Chain A
Amino acid sequence: MQNIIEVANITYAYPRTDIPALNNISFSVPQGQFVAIIGPTGAGKSTLCYCFNGAVPRLFGGEMSGSVVVAGKDTYENEIPVMAQHVGLVVQNARNQLFNVNVQCEIAFGCENLGFPRQKIIQNLHDALTFVGLQGYENRQPTALSGGQQQRVAIACVLAMEPDVLVLDEPTSELDPIGSEQVMETITRLNRSLGKTVILVSHDTEFIAQFADRVLVINDGSLVLDGSPREVFSKADLLSSCRIRPPQVCQLSYELRKKGFPITDIPITIDEAVTLYEGLQHG
């Protein structure tokens, strides 16, 4: 399958800083993959997100080397609005990305900027609102919605622009459990039903273990681990040295293994754990 994202040797430092926020990062993502990015605070996750549409370095300035190519478009050669046709970026704090008077204008905003015909805007607006489950919210003021609804509006905003890739930076970090669940469910459907390539930054390792195809671990600006959730969450020592909290089922298994239980493959979901422990009991 063809790679929709090619990141090659990027090193980047913000203006007036000595230590690079990103350090020689390379990876590529095939079309339709669901990639999770995890790492401690200050690791450079958001900075990496900004690279996908060229906001780093175009808007932030600073020194950058290496290349980022999305859907065949190099961020060095194409301005952010051009990249935006291929990459939808939902930034870390939803409130900051909602600046229109109502939900309808908010979602139409990107489509209007891309010059979509009015009929198409109406259609995409309707589809995006339905997709995130917010039909009937057209005339509500975005900033007066709940956190989870704001986040879903933000997703609908980029979705309506028909990008190939959606980049979501900690969409649930400020939400209550129910809000989080609704947002995560929406993100899963983006990938599973619509076939969008999804890059998700999140601390919710339980969710990642269950739904992501692949996990990138970023620490101190470097890509320290790149593998399937199973590979990544099996590495207890590395995760703890990166101050990352693995799913609780994994933690339990690490502890049991230390106590001498014969666990070779760390289970990463509840279902896997149940199967494993049933086997242990009978065997």
Chain B
Amino acid sequence: MADVGYINQDSFLHRLDARTKLILMLAILVVVLVFTDPIYVIAILFLVLGAWKLAKLPLNMVGDIFKYFTGIAVIIFVLQAFFYPGETNLLQISNPIPAIGFSGYITLQGVMYGLALVLRLVVIMTVAPLLVMTTPMSDLMLALVKFKVPYRFAFILTTAMSLFPSIQNRAELIQQAQLCRGVGDFESGNFFVRLRASASILTPLILGAFRDSQILDVAMSSRAFGAPIQRTFLLESHFRQADYIFLAGSCLSLVGAVILRIMHLGVV
């Protein structure tokens, strides 16, 4: 994955309360799951990319995300295009194979649905960084706690997310160390060579993580983590006018999406 973490900028999205951003993100996800017409999904995707631009986030990272995602996207698209039961036949590619539910035709609906599914995933993949890159983990944790997520869970979730880059760094370090020792070729080589090479990274990574997690456990308990005391918080969060506007917008879009759906618009 591309290195996704908080990017310190001054933008409308950075200034929004983390709670607003969580709700906004959920609203976008729900709306994008309501529609199966790729045109609608593309419209939402452009909205999300527009937000990337406005939040002054590096758009070339979207390219990185696409790159990692192409393989899965192709598989999803092909499966849907082949197996979605549509009416408008486009192309016959074989005789029907009822055993696996294949009609032998690629249908227009199949292609459209496959496209929408891939695009939905693209939206999901681009919305998540929008939240993570504009919100410090501490604010995100506070938002989760305010949404009544248990503190312990919120802490572990946000800490794991913020530790992700350091785990990634360590994996790269171990990979280099193993390369120096002549263990495996990570880029070329056949499948088994690469598998063995990956194992040579994973073992020290997991062992190291385990050792660290024991010390981390000691360090955290030593700082009274999990004390049977009502926890207080240094950080505070307040809704501002923009938050109310965006919350209202989120609600309206949700209602709008449901109405469109009831009118059978945006569905293939």
Contact = CB atoms under 8 A, between A and B. Distances in A.
A53 B228 CA distance: 16
Contacts of B223: 84, 97, 109-110, 113, 157-158, 161
Given A101-B162, A105-B138, A55 B234 contact: no
Interface in A64-87: 79-82, 84-85, 87
B214 A104 contact: no
A27 interface: no
A55 B231 contact: no
Interface in B201-242: 212, 214-236
Query: Which of B6, B136, B234 has the most C-beta atoms of chain A within 10 angstroms of its own C-beta?
Result: B234
A13 interface: no
Contacts of A118: 232-234, 236
Given A81-B228, A101-B138, A112 B234 contact: yes
Given A96-B212, A117-B232, 5 more contacts: A80-B222, A82-B227, A113-B227, A115-B232, A116-B232
A91 B226 contact: no
B238 to A, nearest CB: 14
Given A115-B230, A115-B232, A121-B234, A110 B219 contact: no
17 contacts: A59-B214, A81-B225, A82-B227, A84-B224, A84-B227, A91-B218, A96-B212, A97-B216, A99-B159, A99-B220, A105-B235, A113-B225, A113-B226, A118-B232, A121-B232, A125-B234, A158-B222
Contact of A50 (B212, B218, B230): B218
Interface residues of B, number: 32
Nearest to A143: B166
Interface of A: 50, 53, 55, 58-60, 79-82, 84-85, 87-89, 91-93, 96-97, 99-102, 104-105, 108-118, 121-122, 125, 143, 157-158, 161
A112 B218 contact: no
B218 A108 contact: no
A104 B230 CA distance: 20
B197 interface: no
Contacts of A104: 234
A93 B166 CA distance: 16
B137 interface: yes
Nearest to A80: B221
A125 B232 CA distance: 14
A115 B227 contact: yes
Given A104-B234, A115-B231, A81 B224 contact: yes
Interface string B120-145: 00000000000000001110000000
Contacts of B214: 59-60
A155 B245 CA distance: 44
